[in-house]
Amino acid sequence: MNQSIPKTFVLGLALALAPVSASFAQSGNDVFAEYREMFGDDNPAELAEMQGEEIWRAVRGPKQASLEQCDLGLGPGVMQGAYAQLPRWFEDAGQVMDLEMRLLWCMEKQQGLDVSALRAHPFSEQGQQQTDLEALSAYIAAQSRGATVAVPQEHPAERRAFENGKRFFNYRAGPHDFSCATCHTHDGKRIRLQDMPRLNTVEGAKGSFPTWPAYRLSQGAVRTLEWRMNDCMRQQRLPGLQHGSDVAIGLITYLGVQANGAVMDSPGLKR
Amino acid sequence: MKTLRTASLPLLAALFAAGCGHAPKAGETAAAFDAPLDITGSFAPRGQAGMDRLDQDETQRICSEYEGKPVPPELVTTIMEAANAGIRFPADGNYLGDWKNGEKIAKTGTGLQSNDDPNVPNGGNCYACHQMAAEEIAYGTIAPSLGLYGKLRGNSEPILKYTWTRLWNSHAYNACSHMPRFGEKKILDEQQLKDVMAYLFDPQSPVNLEAPGKN
């Protein structure tokens, strides 16, 4: 990332785009490409990354600990490449966890923080500051830039998560009969103006998974894959998908395993 | 709702239990992870979207199982017969309403989502999937273009009935269609369906004024 561009400039761009954002809904992907060009290598997600780094290093909670000893799967404190290998099985927790679940676990167990509020409201509302989870996700994902996606399928629970995701992908329900497959099994097709990746294929998943978390221009915020799952479920007319639930982890594992071998490039920049 | 949920559990369980055969490694207690997933544990009611939304009817169950694969002929028959049995044509025999309101419905993507106001009429969201009027460039491409729909087909009784049936329950013609069952599932009411029909058929409707570009 080009460090020579002052952060205030990036912030200025982000703010300048805010009023423009509404029109993205009605404009073509080429217009979006223009904005992407304008940003070049710079992504307003950098602000969230800095916020995340502060939270990662801060000594907090009754146990007066920082998150720096949090084991993201590659050993305590190892961040490089960790995101590219999540979700995975964590023996200490007895669960398959994605990054967000793992962070909550470390906050709770290692810092002694009460995370119930964060768990209930993991995503920032329009115009609010990023939540700790979003900021940390941006920071930690950035430490996997260039790493090869390698979501493990060693433990039976990891394979089970993949299977759950694969099955749920085709699960039609709700008044509109939508499943993920309704919108995400076509090649080169669009919903309104948005290109739809074909997410039940290796190629489609490889194009999508490595770009998350992403800074969304239309919302002026970094969004995570948990958020993406949640919002697609809303469009599917289903009730609220619970953060870190079996279905959420299943779908993210399904996408991640299909994307194995791709190169991480997140936080991405999206419409 | 509770009884519905309980009743549906074996169904959900069956879906998620079927055919997951990873040989466990020696020493691993795979059994615990082979238990069927109860997906209701992953959701909570939100806004107007209750837990009953997770229950599948027979059509949804079959179409989920055969997504991306050919549906066996006997199940195609099951789905089509159920679809045809549910069609309700307009009581007054009049298929066409107000195309201007139909246009609004076709362009409106909201309705029945957890964050939507249940007091606002649902949209049809046709443009999410279909190209329609030439002037609207924000159209999806996962379904065939409906440009010049009425102009190309005329408005004979069989064509009107065919189109009404498509809108009411598309599975009557194509089992496991990806198009929502707007009438059957009460997404749109009879008047709204008439308005959308008028948008497709009225000679004054922008759908029929100009051929849209290739999508």
DSSP state of A211: G
Triad A178, A181, A187: Cα angle to 5°: 130
Residue with tokens 């996408």, as numbered in its chain: A255
**Residue A223, SS3 per DSSP:** strand
Query: A150 CA to chain B: closest CA distance, Å?
Result: 19
Burial class (CB in 10 A: 0-12, 13-18, 19+), A84: buried
* CB contact at 8 A, A35 and A218: no
Q: What is the ipTM of this complex?
A: 0.90
Triad B106, B107, B108: Cα angle to 5°: 100
* Residues within 8 A of B (CB atoms), A 242-261 only: 242, 245-248, 250
Chain A residues within 8 A of B127 when measuring between CB atoms: 192
Model pLDDT for residues A17-49, shown as the tens digit of each residue = 433 333 333 344 555 566 566 655 667 899 999
**A–B interface: beta-carbon pairs under 8 A:** 146
Which residues touch A205 (CB under 8 Å, ≥6 apart)?
A197, A199, A255, A256, A258, A259, A262
Model pLDDT for residues A66-90, shown as the tens digit of each residue = 999 999 999 999 999 999 999 999 9
Q: Residue B45's closest chain A neighbor by CA? A: A239
A176/B141 touch (CB, cutoff 8 Å), yes or no: no
Q: A232 an active-site residue?
A: yes
Sign of CA dihedral A132, A138, A140, A141: positive
DSSP state of B46: B
pLDDT for position A89 = 98
Instruction: Give me B175's structure tokens.
Output: 């089992």
Report the Cα A108 to chain-centroid distance in Å: 21
Q: Which residues of chain A have pLDDT under 50?
A: 1-28
What are the φ and ψ backbone dihedral angles of A245, each rounded to 5 degrees?
-75, 170
Burial class (CB in 10 A: 0-12, 13-18, 19+), A146: exposed
Amino acid sitting at position B6: T
Whether the predicted pLDDT of B18 surpasses 50: no
Residue closest to A66 by CA, chosen among A84, A53, A82, A79? A53
* CB contact at 8 A, A100 and A137: yes
Quote the radius of gyration of chain A (alpha carbons, Å).
18
pLDDT for position B141 = 96
Is some CB atom of chain B closer than 8 A to the CB atom of A200?
yes
* CA pair distance A22, B131, nearest whole angstrom: 22
A234/B138 touch (CB, cutoff 8 Å), yes or no: no
Give me the sheet containing A214-216, strands edge to edge: A221-223, A214-216, A268-270
**Per this entry, what is the length of chain B?**
215
Chain B residues within 8 A of A182 when measuring between CB atoms: 178
* CA pair distance A65, A63, nearest whole angstrom: 6
E strands present in B52-176: none
* CA pair distance A152, B180, nearest whole angstrom: 37
Strand partners, A173: A178
Triad A152, A157, A162: Cα angle to 5°: 60
> What mean pLDDT value characterizes chain B?
88
B140/A189 touch (CB, cutoff 8 Å), yes or no: yes
The upper half-sphere exposure of residue B193, i.e. CA atoms within 13 Å in the direction of its Cβ, equals 27
B67/A241 touch (CB, cutoff 8 Å), yes or no: no
Whether the predicted pLDDT of B130 surpasses 50: yes
Which residues touch A239 (CB under 8 Å, ≥6 apart)?
B43, B44, B45, B46, B49, B50, B51, B53, B54, B114
Residue closest to B50 by CA, chosen among B8, B83, B16? B8
Residue closest to A147 by CA, chosen among A1, A266, A267, A264? A264
Model pLDDT for residues B68-96, shown as the tens digit of each residue = 999 999 999 999 999 999 999 999 999 99
pLDDT for position B32 = 59
Report the Cα B194 to chain-centroid distance in Å: 17
Which residues touch A203 (CB under 8 Å, ≥6 apart)?
none
E strands present in A52-184: 88-90, 95-97
B114 band by pLDDT with thresholds 50, 70 and 90:
very high
Catalytic residue among A70, A106, A180, A232: A232
DSSP state of A228: H
Quote the radius of gyration of chain B (alpha carbons, Å).
21
**Residue B106, SS3 per DSSP:** helix
Q: Residue B61's closest chain A neighbor by CA? A: A172
pLDDT for position B180 = 98
Model pLDDT for residues B154-199, shown as the tens digit of each residue = 999 999 999 999 999 999 999 999 999 999 999 999 999 999 999 9
Pairing verdict, β A95-97 and A214-216: unpaired
- CATH class, range A156-270: mainly alpha
